[in-house]
Each structure stands twice: as C-alpha cells, then as structure tokens.
Amino acid sequence: MPDNKQNPPDKIVEDRPSNFIRDIVMADLEKGTNGERVATRFPPEPNGYLHIGHAKSIVLNFGVAREFEGTTNLRFDDTNPSKEEQEYVDSIKEDVRWLGYDWGEREYYASNYFDQLYQWAEYLIEQGKAYVCDLSPEESREHRGNYYTPGKASPYRDRTPTENLDLFRRMRDGEFPDGSKTLKAKIDFQNPNMNLRDPVMYRILRAHHHRTGDKGCIYPMYDWAHGQSDAIEGITHSICTLEFEDHRPLYDWFVENLPVPHTPHQYEFARLNLTYTVMSKRKLLQLVKENLVDGWTDPRMPTISGMRRRGFPAQAIRNFAERIGVSKNHQNVDVSLLEFNVRDVLNEIAPRYMGVLNPLKVTITNYDAVDWTGFDAPLDPNDPEGPSRIVPFSSVLYVEKDDFKEEAPRKWHRLAPGKEVRLRYAGLITCDEVVKDDKGEVVELKCTLDPESKGGNSPDGRKVRGTLHWVSAEHALDAEVRLYDRLFNNENPASLGDDWLSAMNPESLQVVTNAKLEPALADVDCQTHVQFERLGYFIQDSSGCKGKVFNRTLTLRDSWATFEKNQSK
C-alpha cells in the first residue's frame, strides 16, 4: 500500500521556521502517548475547491506524518449534502496528488460512519445525555443566548430517554418534516463556551447525498461527526485551524462520553490569510456563481486548481507553506512571498524562449548581405553547453511596440530613429526609417543589420546597451496570451464587508490575441513551464494546448512592489 514515504522529497528550504506541531508529536513519541504511532488526517468538506489555505494544512498533515514515518488519511467530512458534490471530491483528490502527496488506500468519508454515529447517538440518548428538541432554528438561537446572555433550557430538555429514543427513530424514518426537530447533546445550556450549550447533533434534512443517495433524511452535524471519525480511524493528532479551538471542549466531551475505540486529541494552528486575496469559500463560490471569474479553476483564483492552471509549481507552494511556518498567531501573509517562491522555483526549471506580445514589424533592408537563417540558442543562458533550440531568422521580424520610441528620452536603450540595439542571439540593427499608417500610427521600422555582428558582438568593440527579444515573422507561431494579475487591488478586500467586490481589479486579466512566438514552442509539452525572455513565466492553458493559448504565471519581477514604491515617493 502506498504511504507517505513514497512522496518525493522537496528541495530543502533552508529558512524553515520552527513548528510547534512537530514539537508536540516528538514529545508524544518520547512519552509513548500513542505508542510509536503518528496518524494524521486531512479532512476537507467537499463543498468547494481547495485553496492555498488548504495547501498549508495538506503540507502540515502529510509532512508531519512523513517526517515521523506515520500515516495520513484523506477523509471527506461529507455531512452537509445540500452543499456537497462529487465534482468537489474529484477536484480535491486531484489537488492533493498534484501537490505531491499520496494517501494510498487510506481514503475515507464521514458517511462511511453514518451507521456507527447513529448507534452512538442512541447510546447518548440511553445515557440521558442527548434529547430530541422541537424548537425551531430561530427559537433554538434565542434559547442558546450569546456571549453576553446566558442560555435558557429547552422546554424539551427533560424528556425521558424512552421518549427521546422513540422520537429519534421516527426522525430517522422520515415521519417529521425538515427542520421540525433536532437531536441535541445534553451538556450545559449556560456554559460560557457557546459550543457546549446543548449543541445540535442531528437535523432533519431531505437532501440527496453524493454517496448515500436518498437513503437517509437525518444528517449528523460536523462537530458530532468529526471527532468520532477521528476516533474510528485511530487518528493521534487531529490538526485543525484556530477557529476550532473553542470547539475542542465539545470534541473532547463527545470522545469522553462514548465507547470509542481510540482517544484522539485536537491541536490548532493559525489559518493562512493572504493579502490581495479572499479565502472564504462563500466568497469564492459567489465569484463563481456570478460569473465574475472563469469557474473555480480561473488562474486568478486562490484555489490550488487555479494556481496549477496559472503555472504555479507544486514545489513552490510546498516551499511557501514551509517558509511561513505554523503558529498560534493569526497570519496575514503578503502574497508577494508566495510569488517569490514561485519565481524562485521557475527560475531554476523554466526553459527560455522568445515571444512578442504586442508586435511591431521590423524589416531588415540589407538582409541579402548576410546568410543568417537561424541561431542556436540555449534553453538556459546560464548553461550555454546545455540543451538548446534553433531560433530562425529572416528579413522581417517582430519586436515589441513598447521597445520603440520615436522621440526617445536621453537614457533610452531600446529602438529609436538612428539608434542601434542588439537582437538577442542574432546581431546589431539600426533603425533608419519609421513607417506610419493613415492614422499616424507606427506600423513598421526599416533597419539595417551590421553583417559583422553575428551573435550580437560589435566588431569594433563599440558599446550597444540595449538588447531586444524578437521573433521571425515568417516562422512565428500565432497564439493567444492571457496576462493575469491579482484579482483584487485592495490589500484586504474582506475588510470592506459587503462591499468587498468593489475591490476587484479590472486589469486582472488582459487577453492578447495576436501574440507571435518562436516556433519551437509548438513542440513544448503542455505542462512545461517556460520563460518568455524579458516578459515573464508562462504555461500553456489546460484548455488550449499545442501552443495555442499561454497563461502568464508571473512577471520576472514583482511589478506591484515597484508600483507601490513609486506611489510612496
């Protein structure tokens, strides 16, 4: 059976911070708290796609188990059928595998335990520790009170175990309408911890379940199913995010009052929050449903699927999760740290090519004076002896429009009338003539090539400071290029409350339909990350392989940091 030890090791992150969860596991192993076992689980609810915050939990749960030769279960806490779909289950499994983790045969579902959970619910009823309540949801909220107001006892709290057992079985058999009754734990309706004020264990809900179909009409609540699923699976370290810290006494109460086969323990860490991002599943679902993005896999989304489609390497996400560490303090991590890790990995693995996004025609007027048909160019300029490709050359080329100014400033090192520049890998050209259309737009540059400058070196040692990327017009590959940027232009869009959508960045997607790419890109595998020299890192979109559609992963530098620096001056 595959286990965590089969997962490939990452590049070592030297600045990995300390991890208090690892310290707890080490201490438990030294004390023999769970013998020599370490068993963690990643327990997503299949009600949406995973996002970068889940990636932190995945890396933590699988990473801790792998470090201590333990096991990690993938368990779907599928207790709310009205919001869960098989699509989400499939996407979650794909994302976890893509991140580099394998749960082997250890795939479980809370729905696997519905029968056992029901039996334990009857056990609590028989012990006088659970009762059927007829209060409506609104009445229940009123009786529960709040942080400033003590709770009130339900008028149904003192029903006998016999009466409760009869009512609960009739709930199970579909005798009562949805929402008319609940099963509640009989704990302490005035406890300062709201989670212990007779929490609901079951509700009546006639909804189709993606695994059990229409078999049942009562479903367990998350807090009731979660800890007992851990107990059934023999989990030693139930690692949750910090919002579940107040739920831990309830987690422990259920375990202590049931004949469970194992006693798990819950530990909490701070969830991940990223700047310029929303992480709420409710908000992400709203973006999808209102067609404000191209589904859950939109490359601007913070979902793992979206990041994969955009070209973020799995190793970069793992490195990021390790670098930010695990703590009890709420984290608001700058998204530029994630982008740094992406660039750090892509710089090592992405082969270099040339592409022109906003093409301007350049005609070499003296092309007949040379026999240059192409140049051997390395895929990694730092390894000139490594793999290479042929970049074809012809009398008509494309360069970026932004690389030309008719009236250039003094320190302009790119094309301008009378100015000489270097074409990457090729030679030196000088702009002699500017051709415009009827509207006065520049449509062509006529340039001469120095026949003695093959390879880009000036024959007489003169300094040529500007170097441009280019593509041969005759051989160019036509492609669509999608330029992605941050989805929000506010550092904390969630802080805007109901107005959070106003922070969406209108420039988060720009589609270039007439990009010209060097022809070697037609043969690049769809999953290969590439660098377009001077332009950024790109990957072919999963919906348009064979060199037709490319997504920009990131620019070569953090353009936002430059913008913010200029704004502060």
Q: Is 260 left (phi over 0), alpha (psi -120 to 50) or beta?
A: beta
Name the amino acid, one letter, at 140: S
Chain centre distance of CA 136? 39
- CA–CA distance, 59 with 61 (Å, rounded to integer): 6
Which helix H or strand E contains 202, and what residues bound it? strand 200-204
The DSSP code for 271 is P
Q: Supply the angle between the helices 114-126 and 222-233 in degrees, to the nearest 10.
A: 110
Whether 85 is catalytic is: no
Nearest CA among 487, 93, 97 for reference residue 288: 487
Can you read off the two tokens belonging to residue 65? 């188990």
Can you read off the two tokens belonging to residue 292? 């404000």
Residue 310 CB-density burial (10 A; 0-12 exposed, 13-18 middle, 19+ buried): buried
Name the amino acid, one letter, at 291: N
Whether 215 is catalytic is: no
Q: Are 57 and 272 contacting, i.e. CB atoms less than 8 angstroms apart?
A: no
The DSSP code for 209 is B
Give every CB contact of residue 565 below 8 A, 6+ residues apart in sequence: none
> Tokens 């709040």, residue?
146
- CA–CA distance, 372 with 521 (Å, rounded to integer): 21
Q: Which of 83, 93, 157, 271 is catalytic?
A: 271
Can you read off the two tokens belonging to residue 369? 């004076």
- CA–CA distance, 363 with 256 (Å, rounded to integer): 81
- CA–CA distance, 561 with 218 (Å, rounded to integer): 52
Q: Which of 169, 281, 323, 534 is catalytic?
A: 281
Can you read off the two tokens belonging to residue 449? 């090539």
Q: Which of 37, 41, 45, 186 is catalytic?
A: 45
Q: Are 492 and 275 contacting, i.e. CB atoms less than 8 angstroms apart?
A: yes
Q: 240 has which bridge partners? A: 268
Q: Are 231 and 34 contacting, i.e. CB atoms less than 8 angstroms apart?
A: no
Q: Is 79 left (phi over 0), alpha (psi -120 to 50) or beta?
A: alpha
Whether 389 is catalytic is: no
Q: Are 317 and 345 contacting, i.e. CB atoms less than 8 angstroms apart?
A: no
- CA–CA distance, 397 with 277 (Å, rounded to integer): 40
Name the amino acid, one letter, at 40: T
The set of catalytic residues is 45, 271, 281
